Structure 1
């Protein structure tokens, strides 16, 4: 399958590290040293994953080489829904009058976008769809507790839109070589690692150390698995895009794989941990700079636990 075009939306507001000093006693230096984050994006009160998702779609439309009404599958991938009934997929279907599309919502923590790619692959394989739209978005600020010293300072808000087709539409389409996902709820702290309980503390990360260990294990492991399975050497990898949870995780992976810093694409310094959209957002933000023949690997790890990777040839 092929990526036809992408779009993204990032709210204008940035919350600086200094904001948290009075809230939870964490200094800007401490936050940056531990996470790599300097600022994080924050949506307006009237914004949500539905509105941000629509903006991401509009950002993608000028480069879409077919009518959006040709889309026959819409998937909203997120863990922070604005409405659990009228999902972002249904809102997009109505906004753009995509009358002949299936519409659904998918959630698997921070691996939700990669899981959505695999679901699209399944629909394509069954012959039940040929053109798909994935809307990946999270509004963490709707659920976070800024006074939480463990995780209140991590989160950002954003959205991305990916148009994907079963067959190549133009010569500029990037080919998705393979998608691979895992459920890992049986490992480590599993479902206790990260939580989002709207009526009980919001989004929290009580087992951050275990999350760190598992992410440092499975993100590089799955990237290597896809490269080797598909006949690529590690040196063939042009860019590595990991889930934007913590720059220390990226540094750990860089040392494990002995990859130079310039091969890692990231935005966590400015936008914070934008959740399940983070890796998709990095790809979309850099899509115009990818060259034909570039090999890009997206690899993610999410609470629950869950993990996944996607190998792309531009």
Structure 2
């Protein structure tokens, strides 16, 4: 039976020019290169300029993804931006991107699920595209997490960076099997009772300020490995695939120890795991498309490969998606 699936036809990413190394951070906070690498695997991160808002990063990633898909702004009828650091409280950063891109009137909105935002946004875009409500969707993860840092807190300020990544999703015809190109299955989760493990201590309806990121790192780590592994297994089951069939695992780039812990728990070959955390740090909702773009450009991920992505972030939110690229 013929079915319509949403297919990833283009991928693009963008990183701000400024690079902040671990050595740079030792000048402003009590830490060391060795301490950061041992606990996180991070060696450097990128930082946006003061005059470079989230929408600028999102725009550049979107333009590159459209070029990769052979599309133009005129083709875009849906824009979803996953971000924790919008340009303004409103309008949505997606609306600003639509204007800057020069895209026509269409659907544009933001998704806020912190680090899980890109997986959530993909699931929403899949609903539009696979049901014929959008022909060319831009799904963008764009973050300037350095704006939320308390630069006196060495346990958090060393972890995060800025960047953006984007997918173009278009409808594609398949046979309704796991061999089809396109999105095959999702698993999304949230446990609001654990929101105090990872949060920002400000907001327009509470303090009237942006606030700073706060995290109970050890507790988040313990929940991450178990919860992510469960979501991956659930998404694979929905997709009708077994874990050993996965060609590439593209995890949220939060911490190398979490990435390894999840891979070990699932019995994934290390050679199948894409890790860019050393160079990008944790870019929240941007980390999956950033890592995906790196692995496509260096020739690892190819058309037809079975890819599984996952993320976990504040909320606590987490989720996974299986798709054939």
Return the TM-score normalized by structure 1.
0.91
Change (3 A) 1:200 1:11: closer
SS of structure 2 residue aligned to 1:301:
strand
Alignment of 1:1-314 (within 5 A): 1-124=6-129, 127-167=132-172, 174-186=181-193, 190-198=194-202, 199=209, 201-205=211-215, 207-288=216-297, 289=299, 290-314=301-325
Measure the CA separation in 2 of the matches of 1:214 and 1:203: 18
* Contact persistence 1:73–1:133 (CA under 8 A): yes
* Contact persistence 1:75–1:105 (CA under 8 A): yes
Measure the CA separation in 2 of the matches of 1:159 and 1:286: 15
Measure the CA separation in 2 of the matches of 1:179 and 1:303: 19
Change (3 A) 1:70 1:61: closer
Measure the CA separation in 2 of the matches of 1:76 and 1:231: 29
Change (3 A) 1:10 1:200: closer
Alpha-carbon distance, 1:153 to partner: 0.8
Alpha-carbon distance, 1:168 to partner: 5.3
Structure 1 residues 80-89 or 262-271, which shifts more? 80-89
SS of structure 1 residue aligned to 2:323:
strand
Measure the CA separation in 2 of the matches of 1:32 and 1:153: 10
Alpha-carbon distance, 1:64 to partner: 2.5
Alpha-carbon distance, 1:167 to partner: 2.8
Alpha-carbon distance, 1:185 to partner: 1.5
* Contact persistence 1:216–1:252 (CA under 8 A): yes
Alpha-carbon distance, 1:125 to partner: 5.3
Return the TM-score normalized by structure 2.
0.88
Alpha-carbon distance, 1:98 to partner: 2.0
Measure the CA separation in 2 of the matches of 1:209 and 1:235: 30
Q: Gaps spanning 5+ residues in structure 1: where?
A: none
SS of structure 2 residue aligned to 1:23:
coil
Q: Gaps spanning 5+ residues in structure 2: where?
A: 1-5, 175-179, 203-208
* Contact persistence 2:54–2:143 (CA under 8 A): yes
Which runs of structure 1 show a deviation greater than 6 angstroms over 4 or more consecutive aligned residues? none
* Contact persistence 2:126–2:183 (CA under 8 A): no
Measure the CA separation in 1 of the matches of 2:24 and 2:7: 42
